[in-house]
Structure 1
């Protein structure tokens, strides 16, 4: 009697299977070329801005790609000429509070919209999507008139305050954050909530003890996408603020406009200020990268 031995089959990793599926569509050399092109399209402008921030204004005006004289004076002068410290402080306060409040309210609203059936539920969900299609330029004038009239009829000063800008950003960020959380909560199993209710948990207990700990990836995605409009906005911030409450984006716009009439614009300081304003967002993405991947892909597969 002869015994035949079979070699164990190789275990195929999920990553290798996905890689094979991709290479079936495009050859390997073409994927490499596309990746290099995309990286170059992103990194080359950033590298030019960084080198220009270390160059003199005359050197940037002459079109020097590599500075003939390196200087860090641009990073020292932006705190006084641009007024960047005050602008960054206002942006962090307004955009940060908008992100936190928007994420906090969105999880409770999404929990009700996903787990309960009531009249008008579908209408609310459709309205959340419909609000995203309204351009901000159509709302800025009615919103300014409304906030201006509040000082006349109610004695409440809104224009020129941080909390007025916070309310403005919250009207745009809250619907989107709620829809993000609705999509995320649909992917969570209901069995966990049912088990908690059997143990005697109330609706608030289910939300705080079951839903909230499992929803951190979705909450972080909702918070970041609520933070970005407040950080990058110029339209509403230029109308709703005054010099002591203006954000970093408005400070950059005012600085660039004020230097256009000179013989040589302050290119180096503008590049340095742009990099400093972009740095917090980059750090935010790098720090929460793993949560962003999980929050954006959740709900896509069931």
Structure 2
């Protein structure tokens, strides 16, 4: 069987409707249907009530939010236009998209290449490297804040290259923390791919790079998406490192929201509406990301769970 024929066989999975019916049947067997409906309803209520409250507060007046109103007494969309000048949210969103997006893309593809070498090749130190990937997940990021800051400052003093306060300095920091998890996800996923596809490609004369880019990568999209989304969320939600490693020009959206909220603490009446509107605007890219790639998430996270 050639590589082309193997890929064609791989590209014809079972019908989607049949798979959905099987999943529904499995869930029904675990819980009776009435109990399943109750559990889903409770989860939806617990999840959606805070989101609905934030949405309603973003179109309510500050006085109404301060009174604890759930339904707005007055409706206004002015908060969504005011946040771009009050919070300076535009620059923060651009910095977050650039840093988190670049970390996600680089981390995902580096993780694929690293995992491919760890899974398909035998060499000295391979198991030690795999164990080190797991060990790195147990180290809290807060413990590394001071060492990372001191190391970057020392490099800047020795070389004259400024790292702290730049986007690419933040990019290196996030990439360091995201790569171990992303690599382990890809190791787990690539272990489930059949070796016959690669062997058929080698018989046809394909090189290792061609096999990685033409066979392994197209079949590994669920794992690649999970790795990329994890790295993106790491850079998007981080406040600790971003508050230390950035300046007002390179400040991310999360830090901009933190600074804005802290600045309102001493005021007579905080601008609750603008804070709620800014929080919703910052959540939109993550929600869109999940909606676009949701079909890959389950397969990427559960890959390797069944052998």
* Interval containing the TM-score (normalised by the shorter chain): over 0.9
- Over aligned residues, Cα RMSD in angstroms? 1.3
Which ranges of 4 or more aligned residues in structure 1 deviate by more than 3 Å?
Answer: 13-25
TM-superposed deviation, 1:294? 2.2
Who wins on radius of gyration, i.e. which is larger? 1
Question: Of 226, 231, 235, which residue of structure 2 is paired with 1:230?
Answer: 235
1:160 to 165, 188, 207: 165
1:294 aligns with 2:299: yes
1:102-153 Cα deviation digits (max 9, x unpaired):
0111111000000011111111011111111110110000111111111211
TM-score by structure 2 length?
0.92
Equivalent residue number for residue 5 of structure 1:
none
* Partner residue, 1:263: 268
Deviation at 1:246, TM superposition (A): 0.4
1:15 Cα offset (Å): 5.1
1:34 to 39, 43, 59: 39
Give yes or no for the alignment of 1:239 onto 2:244.
yes
SS at match of 1:69: coil
**Structure 1 residue 296, shift from structure 2 partner:** 1.9
- Aligned with 1:197 (options 190, 193, 202): 202
Q: 1:263 to 1:30 in 2, by over 3 A?
A: same
Distance 2:20 2:74 in 1: 48
Measured against aligned partners, the alpha-carbon deviations of 1:18-72 in whole angstroms (never above 9, x if no partner) come to 5455444432221111110000001111000000000010010011111111000
Once residues 165 and 299 of structure 2 are traced to their aligned partners in structure 1, the CA distance between those partners, rounded to angstroms, is 38
CA–CA separation in structure 1 for the residues paired with 2:266 and 2:233:
31
Instruction: Provide the rounded CA distance (Å) in 2 between the counterparts of 1:257 and 1:45.
Output: 21
Find the aligned partners of 2:22 and 2:220 in 1 and give their Cα distance.
Answer: 29
After TM superposition, give the deviation of residue 258 of structure 1 in Å: 0.3
Counterpart-to-counterpart distance in 2, 1:34 and 1:81 = 41
Closer, same or farther: CA 73–110 of 1 in aligned 2, 3 Å:
same
* 1-structure distance, mates of 2:25, 2:220: 32
Q: CA deviation at 1:271?
A: 0.3
| Equivalent residue in structure 2 for 1:276, among 265, 281, 295 | 281
Q: Which runs of 5+ in 2 are unaligned?
A: 1-17
Match of 2:12 in 1: none
Choose from 141, 145, 152 the match for 2:150.
145
Matches within 5 A, 1:28-177: 28-177=33-182
Instruction: Tell me the distance in 2 between the aligned counterparts of 1:184 and 1:86.
Output: 37
153 and 14 in structure 1: CA distance in 2 versus 1, 3 angstrom threshold: closer
Structure 1, unmatched stretches of 5+, are 1-12
Please state whether the residue corresponding to 1:139 is helix, strand or coil.
helix
Q: Partners of 1:43 and 1:36 in 2: how far apart? A: 10
Paired residue secondary structure (1:288)? helix
